[in-house]
Chains A and B, each alone.
Chain A
């Protein structure tokens, strides 16, 4: 698989026009600001983050126990629980359930796990008609794109983009770009599909070991329709979504939407506790897809604490300039940088380098994942397995000898002044020699270094 060239993709987003990137930045920065305001209204916010982190770490370090308990309790409630070790098993399991129910038309609400498994393409290739019911996901489905953000999948698009897309795909007036009207048009287009659907697919935000119930949080209510109208409900749940007890939920519900969008809670926080009535079925596909392997990675297992709020993306200055599609992966932004390489180290080897290491992601994370630190550790990993940029890596071999030897270093400083005159690249010996000067003036290397001055003015006096 070829490497994702995240820096080039980001440059394309920035230079596309004067509208998309600035709008993207502004909208997500606003989400971060709203999050700050919402968090500031809760005096115990920092303790909540501590507690949430501890609960997640406890659960993850006793996951075998809690998975078993969850399955036992869910089964008692009349739910059929399936295990899937990877994306292929997940998709095949979902397909087999659909097939055995002769379900060919399905509606689904947002599930990052189903995205991760590329389930849509798998089912469509087998003749299943699948409709995304989350507005953002539907926009992405109609565009043939991955979600660019885990909470706001189409946030990289402008309302004009959506107007054009809807005009082309669902027949709205191309001149209508009022968000309310567009939302209404999409609703009207989607509602009949709920009534026709043979099955509804959802994800889950939390699964409760104690009760075997699971919780889905949305703002559009689409998951509720998806789960409540068709006779068959299939929920895809990653094993890391489990919490021990119902009483743990309050904490996570309070953290989730405040961190994501700055609202006290999602508009719909729906608890699913078994099939609705006789004649309906509920299935859970409990999926690993690399999670247990990640749990065994000493440096990276804490990424499993993630509750998919997207706060790290909203705060990330690099993500806001890059757009989520630049990452070429299911998960983008800081959390994507530390999760994606666990799926494919070679394909995503440049992701950890697409960060200014500002550290805001770690500070905003509601479950205190050490995201920035893990980005640094992924860089080390990429260097150790020779997946990092060859030009940089070899260059450091040369520069290391200079830095390790004070005499060579002085010579290099003088050479920089007299000879190369003048790029800070002399510090790096970087091959992209032009990269500094394209949009920046070069600093001036002084003839008299501080050390020269010090010798002259302090030691020789």
Chain B
């Protein structure tokens, strides 16, 4: 199984440790991982803003970079959702179809494809809240949707519960959007910030020490707010917990 590691642009520049943790984790699990060096951005910022014209070249480049892999794995739900569900600014060739169908978010790849049962190398002694992004819940369906009458499941929680020391605390509104929303966080600053502040208040009320998520972009926004408020919260990517670092 040959896997192309998709490292979203903001992880490359701001959270390299998340990229390292993801790579090391997949290597530990015996996967043949390659990082295509010409990757940039999947085109989501433009696509989300309705700007298909300017999304097209990023989408094309993404497909060029990843067409020769069995699977493409990225530690970012919203970027993966964009690839899988919204890569329609370019002609839908066989190559594009292959890339879209085989691009996985890390949690679903570990759960559904690798079916990992244990992480014996990892310990994480924290009371954590899980933050699955809206894209990961309602787009990729890594968690049951609270709006639906369907049995509860949460692939992120399931993976974390296999790590020694982790205690999972469910906050009051676990699947309420935190307000990041891509460009929304700057174009609609007041609402975005209020949503983030409410999310941070929910964490504080439940006295968690750490927030674990498969989506660093939501955490970038939440952490920015928590830091400004001097709230004693740590924000980490699930790859860092499952791989036992680096933090």
A contacts, CB < 8 Å to B: 7, 10-11, 14-15, 21, 25, 29, 36, 39-40, 42-43, 45-46, 315, 317-318, 321-322, 352-360, 362-364, 372, 376-384, 388-389, 392-393, 396-397, 399-400, 402-406, 409, 413, 416-417, 424-425, 427-428, 430, 432, 435-436, 438-446, 448-455, 458
Chain B positions 134-155 with a Cβ under 8 Å from a chain A Cβ: 134-135, 138-139, 145-150
1/0 per residue B12-38: CB within 8 Å of A?
Answer: 111110111001000000000001011
User: Please, how many angstroms separate the alpha-carbon atoms of A393 and B51 in the complex?
Assistant: 7
* A436 adjacent to B185 (CB under 8 Å): yes
Contact yes or no, B13 A416, CB < 8 A: yes
Q: How far is the CB of A453 from chain B (nearest CB, A)?
A: 6
Considering the chains assembled together, what is the distance between the CA atoms of A256 and B41 in angstroms? Answer: 43
The interface-forming segment of B162-170, B192-200, B206-214 is B192-200
Bound CA–CA A393/B46 (angstroms): 9
Q: Which residues of A contact B48 (CB under 8 A)?
A: 357, 376, 379
Contacts of A10 in B (CB 8 A): 188, 190-191
A205 to B229 Cα, complex, angstroms? 47
Known: A400-B57, A446-B16. 13 other contacts (CB 8 A): A39-B149, A43-B149, A356-B184, A357-B48, A360-B147, A404-B40, A409-B9, A413-B13, A436-B186, A439-B228, A440-B225, A454-B19, A455-B37
For window 177-235 of B, CB contacts with A under 8 Å fall at: 177, 179-198, 220-221, 223-225, 227-228
| Contact count A vs B, C-beta below 8 Å | 237
B240 within 8 A of A: no
Contact between A432 and B186, CB atoms less than 8 A apart: yes
Q: Given A356-B134, A443-B224, does the pair A432, B10 have CB atoms closer than 8 Å?
A: no
Cβ-neighbour of B14 out of A29, A359, A428, A444 (below 8 A): A444
Partner of A400, one of B20, B46, B50, B149: B46
Partner of A439 from the list B43, B138, B180, B225 (CB cut-off 8 Å) is B225
Shortest CB-to-CB span from B83 to chain A, Å, is 14
Asked, given contacts A353-B184, A363-B138, whether A42 binds B9 with beta carbons under 8 Å apart, the answer is no
Judge whether B95 is part of the interface by a CB distance below 8 angstroms.
no
* Closest CB in chain B relative to A414 CB, distance in Å: 9
Q: Is the CB of A317 within 8 A of B58?
A: no
| A410 to chain B: closest residue by CB | B40
Q: Can you list 24 pairs linking A and B with CB atoms under 8 Å apart? A: A7-B188, A11-B190, A14-B190, A321-B195, A353-B188, A356-B177, A356-B179, A360-B175, A381-B50, A399-B45, A405-B40, A406-B39, A424-B10, A424-B220, A427-B10, A428-B186, A430-B183, A430-B186, A435-B187, A438-B189, A439-B197, A439-B228, A452-B16, A458-B23
CB contact under 8 A between A440 and B196, given known A392-B187, A396-B54, A445-B13: yes
Q: How far is the CB of B183 from chain A (nearest CB, A)?
A: 6
Among residues of A, the one whose C-beta sits closest to the C-beta of B22 is: A450
- From A46, A353, A425, A427, B9 is in contact (CB under 8 Å) with A427
Contacts A14-B190, A42-B149, A444-B14: A406 and B183 contacting too (C-beta < 8 A)? Answer: no
Shortest CB–CB separation between residue B199 and chain A, in angstroms? 10
Interface residues of B in 78-129 (CB under 8 A from A): 86
Question: Does B7 interact with chain A (Cβ within 8 Å)?
Answer: yes
B50 touches A388 (CB 8 A): yes
Alpha-carbon gap, A29 to B202, bound state (A): 14
Alpha-carbon separation in the docked complex, A43 to B225 (Å): 40
Q: Is the CB of A318 within 8 A of B50?
A: no
Least CB distance from B181 to A in Å reads 3
Contacts of A436 in B (CB 8 A): 185-186, 189, 224
Q: A356-B179, A450-B7 are in contact. Are A403 and B228 (CB under 8 A)?
A: no
